[in-house]
Amino acid sequence: MIPAAFEYYRPKDMDKVLSILEEHGDDARVMAGGHSLIPMMKLRMADVPHLIDLQDVGGMSEIEIGADTIKIGALVTQSDIIDHAALADVAPILREASLQIADPQVRYMGTLGGNIANGDPGNDMPGLMQCLDATFTVVGQDGERAIPARDFYEAAYVTAREDGEVLTAVTIPRPKGGHAYEKQKRKIGDYATAAASVQIVNDGGKCVSAAIAMTNLSDTPVFSKTAGDALVGTSVDDAALKAAVAAMLGDIDPTEDNRGPVAFKNHVAGVILRRAIARAWSRA
Partner 1 sequence: MKDEITREERVDNLKGMGCSRKRVEDARFTQGKGNYVDDIKLDGMLFGDFVRSPYAHARVKSINKDTALKVPGVLAVLTADDLRPLGLHWMPTLAGDKQMVLADGKVLFQGQEVAFVVAEDRYAAADGIEAVEVEYEELPVLVNPFEALKSDVVLREDLVAEDGSIPAGAHGPRKHHNHIFTWEAGDKDPTEEVIANAEVVAEESMYYHRTHPCPLETCGCVASMDKVNGKLTLWGTFQAPHAIRTVVSLISGIEEHNIRVVSPDIGGGFGNKVGAYPGYVCSVVASIVTGKPVKWIEDRMDNLMTTAFARDYHMTGKISATKEGKITGLQCHVTADHGGFDACADPTKFPAGFMNICTGSYDIPTAFLEVDGVYTNKAPGGVSYRCSFRVTEAVYFIERMIEVLAIKLNMDAAELRRINFIKKEQFPYKAALGWEYDSGDYHTAWDKALKTVDYDGLRAEQAQRVKDFKAGKTRKLMGIGLSFFTEIVGAGPVKNCDILGLGMFDSCEIRIHPTGSAIARLGTISQGQGHATTFAQILASEIGLPADSITIEEGDTDTAPYGLGTYGSRSTPVAGAATAMAGRKIRAKAQMIAAYLLEVHDNDVEFDVDRFAVKGAPEKFKTMKEIAFAAYNQAIPGLEPGLEAVSYYDPPNMTYPFGAYVCVMDIDVDTGVPEIRRFYALDDCGTRINPMIIEGQVHGGLTEALAVALGQEIAYDDMGNVKTGTLMDFFLPTAWEVPNYETDFTVTPSPHHPIGAKGVGESPHVGGVPCFSNAVQDAFRPFGNTHTNMPHDHWRIWRTANELGLHD
Residues that bind ligand FAD (CB under 6 A): 29-37, 39, 54, 74, 101-102, 106, 109-111, 113-115, 117-118, 123-125, 166-167, 189, 191
Q: For ligand FAD, give the closer residue by CB, 54 or 236.
A: 54
| Three-class DSSP labels, 93-150 | HHHHHHCCCCCHHHHHHCEHHHHHHHCCCCCCHHHHHHHCCCEEEEEECCEEEEEEHH
Q: What is the rounded distance in angstroms from the CA atom of residue 221 to the CA atom of residue 223?
A: 7
For the CB of residue 260, give the shortest distance to partner 1 in the complex, in Å.
3
Residue type, 137: T
For the CB of residue 12, give the shortest distance to partner 1 in the complex, in Å.
28
45 is a contact residue toward partner 1 (CB under 8 A): no
Q: Which does 34 bind (CB under 5 to 8 A by kind): ligand FAD, partner 1, none?
A: ligand FAD
Residue 190, Cα to own-chain centre: how many angstroms? Answer: 15
The residues pairing with 210 across neighbouring beta strands, listed in sequence order, are 200
271 is a contact residue toward partner 1 (CB under 8 A): yes
Q: Which does 162 bind (CB under 5 to 8 A by kind): partner 1, ligand FAD, none?
A: none
193 is a contact residue toward partner 1 (CB under 8 A): yes
Q: 113 φ, ψ to 5°?
A: -60, -45
Q: For ligand FAD, give the closer residue by CB, 39 or 66.
A: 39
Asked if 140 contacts 165 with a C-beta cutoff of 8 angstroms, the reply is yes
Asked if 171 contacts 156 with a C-beta cutoff of 8 angstroms, the reply is no
Residue 78's contacts (CB-CB under 8 Å, 6 or more residues apart) are: 98, 101, 102, 106, 107, 110, 111, 112, 115
242 is a contact residue toward partner 1 (CB under 8 A): no
For the CB of residue 2, give the shortest distance to partner 1 in the complex, in Å.
4
Instruction: For residue 33, give the DSSP letter.
Output: S
Q: Which does 171 bind (CB under 5 to 8 A by kind): partner 1, ligand FAD, none?
A: none
Q: For partner 1, give the closer residue by CB, 37 or 75.
A: 37
Stretch that binds partner 1, among 15-23, 132-140, 190-198, 212-220 (CB under 8 A): 190-198
58-97 footprint of partner 1 as x/- string (CB under 8 A): ----------------------------------------
Q: How many CB atoms lie within 10 A of CB 190?
A: 14
Q: Which does 167 bind (CB under 5 to 8 A by kind): partner 1, ligand FAD, none?
A: ligand FAD
With CB under 8 A as the contact rule, the residue among 36, 79, 135, 184 that binds partner 1 is: 184
Q: What is the rounded distance in angstroms from the CA atom of residue 275 to the CA atom of residue 245?
A: 11
Q: How many CB atoms lie within 10 A of CB 45?
A: 8
Q: Residues in the site for partner 1, rule: CB under 8 A?
A: 1-2, 4-5, 44, 103, 184, 186-191, 193, 258-261, 263-264, 267-268, 271-272
